[in-house]
Structure 1
């Protein structure tokens, strides 16, 4: 996470998806974080589910929720059904 620009409040995992919630100084910080996640070899995707202005300790911040797909390396490494059929021939 970008230091002093973003704070994470919760993280939940369900199957191959992480739900991440937090607050950031602005939308640009959230976007930068999402780009970093999508470039990671670990994550398949990073999608913004919600973003809304909120106030914390008198500061106007952006509350956000991300849905992050896990397993890019596994998805790329696993052969598809068509690839497996080709190997049998």
Structure 2
């Protein structure tokens, strides 16, 4: 992977993480860096799921892929927030 691919993965992951965090109601007790990491993971896993479903390469914006990624980021934010609340 080239440096431009890494930078774009970080930027897209940050956007996905923030969008996932916005979907979750209430206050989350996780930091920005954790949100970005969750977003990067959700973007990568969501891209794999979209590819497996065959919806990753459509004409125009890949809305279904974005929705999968944002949903995964929201689940990740909830999971990490709840795990931190227990400690």
Larger radius of gyration: 1
TM-score (structure 2 length as normaliser): 0.30
**Bigger strand fraction:** 1
TM-score (structure 1 length as normaliser): 0.29
**Bigger helix fraction:** 2
